[in-house]
């Protein structure tokens, strides 16, 4: 921190505006309307946040900060941070992005933040012209970073298109067109999903038998983070859906419907819940990788999207899966198709890995920029000299003394 900065606390530089339920603050003569689904429910004078307030989740979700550019009513699950005149609104917002608010969560059940803890957060206060220069520099660097991230995400989208093009070409080959069609139930030894143990997430264990859920199954990878575990008694009730290494796992409900992959060794003897179906090909008929790739193809994915399923939530029934017709070339031809697909997609995987790494570095760079900003290291000496030449320049200690004097008068 530079010599003309001063370390203070949130209590010194911001107001924290708590939200409140509308029913508790209805005022017939209030200045601000309170809106509900049926229109205006009443009026209020308190808990209104000004334009330039930063919102932080107070209870339930400690979310990423949101910067609001208009006056608004604050709900009871959020805190509104509004700076005193000595602090730039946007600088406060960037500090909130930088700060780890989750570290202040002391709850054992529902995540929550306490106002008294927030007021004690240490804040490095720069002079006003330097604050403005830092904000401009951050926004300039973030704009450039966002542009690069957009390019990386566009490249990722193009990879998705390329993957589908590879699968489309492979499954429209001559040998594939001539293959005899079979219903999935006739070329598999098992199709079935499980259920969630009684009590749900509250009764999951720290270790034990894996319970695979839809969040674990992705097209290009298996997600181990968030893997649930159950005990022997819970697993016994799901003995009809025991996973074998090499099983095809297909998400059959919800937003992730259609995501498919192969069960790794780590899932062996695990179970699936009601959102994931085990599809176990007969080895003498079907190459497991061939089935997975075919289910990933646009032809099957479109079928999944269009199949007439649940009215309120997407879902694939066991019957629909069993009767799905799949062309089955000879095992030799299946192996050849898989080799050709994998040789092309391996290149795609390397590019994807590089793009993912670049996106992770971009996020790390964003935090690095903010770290330098609040350590007083983001601006060059020339930029700082220009700030000190500004007519409104004065050390942050003077700013803090002024705001404290104003508070005493009140």
Q: Residue 261 corresponds to which tokens in the numbers above?
A: 């992959």
Q: What is the pLDDT of residue 359?
A: 92
Q: What is the pLDDT of residue 60?
A: 81
Q: Decide: residue 59, CB within 10 A, 0-12 exposed, 13-18 middle, 19+ buried.
A: middle
**Alpha-carbon gap, residue 250 to 276, rounded angstroms:** 6
Determine contact, residues 252/193, Cβ cutoff 8 Å: yes
| HEC-encoded secondary structure of 331-350 | HHHHHHHHHHHHHHHHHHHH
- In angstroms, how far apart are the furthest CA atoms of the chain? 89
**Alpha-carbon gap, residue 59 to 352, rounded angstroms:** 37
Q: What is the pLDDT of residue 37?
A: 39
Q: What is the pLDDT of residue 361?
A: 94
**Alpha-carbon gap, residue 288 to 286, rounded angstroms:** 6
**φ, ψ for residue 290, nearest 5 deg:** -60, -45
Dump pLDDT digits (tens) for 307-352. 755 544 568 999 999 999 998 888 898 999 999 999 998 888 889 8
Q: Does domain 181-325 have CATH number 3.90.220.20?
A: yes
Q: What is the pLDDT of residue 36?
A: 40
Which residues of the chain does CATH 3.90.220.20 include?
A: 6-127+394-409, 181-325
Q: What is the pLDDT of residue 78?
A: 83
Pick from 138, 103, 143, 140: nearest CA to 370? 138
- Give all strands (DSSP E) within 104-214, no chain letters: 122-125, 180-183, 188-193, 209-212
Dump pLDDT digits (tens) for 159-182. 989 988 998 888 876 556 667 889
Q: What is the pLDDT of residue 69?
A: 84
Q: Domain 6-127+394-409 - what CATH class?
A: alpha beta
Q: Distances from the Cα of 304 to the Cαs of 53, 97, 163, 220, 251, in angstroms?
A: 44, 40, 18, 18, 11
Report H helices in 25-114.
89-98
Determine contact, residues 318/240, Cβ cutoff 8 Å: no
Per-residue pLDDT of the chain in tens (410 residues, 90 and over written 9): 789 999 999 999 999 988 776 666 677 777 765 544 345 556 776 667 888 999 898 888 887 888 988 777 777 788 889 999 999 999 999 999 999 999 999 887 888 999 999 999 999 999 999 999 999 999 999 999 999 999 999 999 999 899 889 988 888 765 566 678 899 999 999 999 999 988 888 889 999 999 999 999 999 889 999 999 999 999 999 999 999 999 999 999 988 999 999 999 999 999 999 999 999 998 788 899 999 999 999 889 999 988 755 544 568 999 999 999 998 888 898 999 999 999 998 888 889 889 989 999 998 999 999 999 999 999 999 999 999 999 999 999 999 998 988 877 76
- Please name the residues in contact with 44: beta carbons below 8 A apart, sequence gap of 6 or more: 22, 25, 26, 27, 30, 31, 32, 34, 73
Pick from 220, 229, 272: nearest CA to 249? 272
pTM higher than 0.75, yes or no? Answer: no
- The helix (H) or strand (E) run that includes residue 115 is helix 115-119
**Alpha-carbon gap, residue 290 to 175, rounded angstroms:** 14
**φ, ψ for residue 228, nearest 5 deg:** -90, 160
**DSSP, residue by residue, 216-263:** GB-SS-B--TT-EEE-HHHHHTTGGGB--TT-EEEE-BSTTTT-EEE-
């Amino acid at each position: 921190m530079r010599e003309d900065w001063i370390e203070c606390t949130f209590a010194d530089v911001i107001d924290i505006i708590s939200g409140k339920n509308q029913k508790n603050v209805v005022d017939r003569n209030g200045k601000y309307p309170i809106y509900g689904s049926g229109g205006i429910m009443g009026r209020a004078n308190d808990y209104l946040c000004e334009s330039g307030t930063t919102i932080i989740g107070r209870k339930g979700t400690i979310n990423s900060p949101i910067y609001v550019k208009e006056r608004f009513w604050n709900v009871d699950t959020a805190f509104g941070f509004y700076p005193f005149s000595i602090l730039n609104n946007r600088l406060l917002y960037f500090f909130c992005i930088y700060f780890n608010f989750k570290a202040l969560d002391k709850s054992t059940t529902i995540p929550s933040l306490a106002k008294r803890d927030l007021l004690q957060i240490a804040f490095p206060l720069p002079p006003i012209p330097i604050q403005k220069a830092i904000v401009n520099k951050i926004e300039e660097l973030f704009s450039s970073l966002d542009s690069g991230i957009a390019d990386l995400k566009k490249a990722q989208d193009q990879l998705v298109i390329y993957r589908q093009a590879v699968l489309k070409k492979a499954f429209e080959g001559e040998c594939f067109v001539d293959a005899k069609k079979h219903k999935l139930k006739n070329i598999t030894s098992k199709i079935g999903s499980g259920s969630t143990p009684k009590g749900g997430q509250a009764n999951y264990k720290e270790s034990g038998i894996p319970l695979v859920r839809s969040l674990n199954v992705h097209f290009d990878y298996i997600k181990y983070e968030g893997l649930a575990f159950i005990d022997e008694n819970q697993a016994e009730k799901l003995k009809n859906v025991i996973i074998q290494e090499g099983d095809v796992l297909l998400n059959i409900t919800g937003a992730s419907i259609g995501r498919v992959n192969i069960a790794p060794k780590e899932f062996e003897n695990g179970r699936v819940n009601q959102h994931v179906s085990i599809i176990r090909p007969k080895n003498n008929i079907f190459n497991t990788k061939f089935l997975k790739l075919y289910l990933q193809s646009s032809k099957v994915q479109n079928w999944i999207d269009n199949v007439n399923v649940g009215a309120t939530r997407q879902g694939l029934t066991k019957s629909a899966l069993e009767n799905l017709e799949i062309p089955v070339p000879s095992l030799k031809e299946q192996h050849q198709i898989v080799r050709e697909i994998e040789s092309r997609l391996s290149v795609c995987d390397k590019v994807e890995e590089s793009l993912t790494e670049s996106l992770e570095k971009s996020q790390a760079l964003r935090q690095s920029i903010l770290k330098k900003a609040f350590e007083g290291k983001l601006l060059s000496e020339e930029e700082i000299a220009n700030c000190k030449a500004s007519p409104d320049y004065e050390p942050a200690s003077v700013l803090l003394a002024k705001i404290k004097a104003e508070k005493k008068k009140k």
